[in-house]
Amino acid sequence: MIRLVGILVGLGFTFVVMISFAVGAYTAATEPAEKPAYYAFHKEPVQPAGGFQFDGAFGTWDVAQLQRGYQVYKEVCAACHAMDYVAFRNLAELGYSEAQVKAEAATWQVPGVDPNTGEATMRPATATDYFPSPYPNNVAAAAANNNAIPPNLSLITKARNNGSNYVYSLLAGYADPTTYRNEDGAVFAEAAPGSMPGTGLYFNPYFENLNIAMAPPLTTTGQVTYADGTEATIPQMSADVAAFLTWTAEPRMIVRKQTGWWVIAFTLFATILAWFAKKQVWSGVKPTRRD
């Protein structure tokens, strides 16, 4: 009797849990989550004017833009952000010669060992080295950046939704929260005063909670002097470094797209060939009639 009661109680609990799960799942699927007041000022990432050349099924790398983006990373972003999944030798894919890659690598300092004393030291990088981190560890990185660890940029465009556009929009999208208006004309400071940036934070409508620890890295036109003479406006620099970081995250993207077209063409050819083969093999066979 006791065993039967135990079984019934267990079944009762199981039934209640299943009902609760079903109700919760239905509610989550049918009722949108309530968003905080500040979310009305959040903006989805946008493309730069003219888009990116690598977009679409027939996209290609704009090598000049990638080189400009590397320059922005080196002169601006590298002060805080690591990119240690990319080697200096990979720069050859951006159109640099072997001598240029070696010379460029030598302008960076990487950790090494003194051959005479065995002590840790810094040395000029070689083409086989990877881009160094600006900080020795995460503790030092957080201490220098208002307790926020700057993310590694090697794969940042794959780690963020709509990555290329996100990086571009974020860099070019800093705004003054006291005057910023959303599409409905509401002023952020008046509609969501409790969400105003705190000490050490900055307002950016493309960041998820609008308050970001990173100060605007691109602040003035001409902050970087491009070797090809392109005017270095904030949108231009933002687009260039976004394109470069797209390449670092997926350097084989264009090759993959081109290979995909060959695969589709071969599959189509094989399908047509198989159809003709089937017609040839069964051409002499007549269907039998059953009365």
The answer to whether 80 is annotated as binding is: yes
The whole-model pTM stands at 0.83
Is the pLDDT at 28 greater than 70, yes or no? no
What pLDDT, on a 0 to 100 scale, did the predictor assign at position 291? Answer: 59
Mean pLDDT of 200-224: 94
Mean pLDDT of 1-9: 69
> Percent of the chain at pLDDT above 70?
93
- CATH classification number, 37-86+131-192+211-254, choose in 1.10.760.10, 3.50.50.60, 1.10.10.10, 1.10.150.530: 1.10.760.10
What pLDDT, on a 0 to 100 scale, did the predictor assign at position 193? Answer: 85
The answer to whether 237 is annotated as binding is: no
Enumerate the domain spans of the chain.
Answer: 37-86+131-192+211-254
> Percent of the chain at pLDDT above 90?
70
The answer to whether 42 is annotated as binding is: no
Mean pLDDT (the chain) is: 90
- Tell me: the pLDDT tens digits for 44-73? 999 999 999 999 999 999 999 999 999 999
What pLDDT, on a 0 to 100 scale, did the predictor assign at position 279? Answer: 86
The answer to whether 81 is annotated as binding is: yes
Alpha-carbon distance 266 to 246, whole Å?
A: 29
| Least confident piece of the model among 12-21, 147-156, 210-219, 282-291 | 282-291
Task: Grade residue 138 by pLDDT with cuts at 50, 70 and 90.
Answer: very high
Is the pLDDT at 34 greater than 80, yes or no? no
Mean pLDDT of 9-20: 76
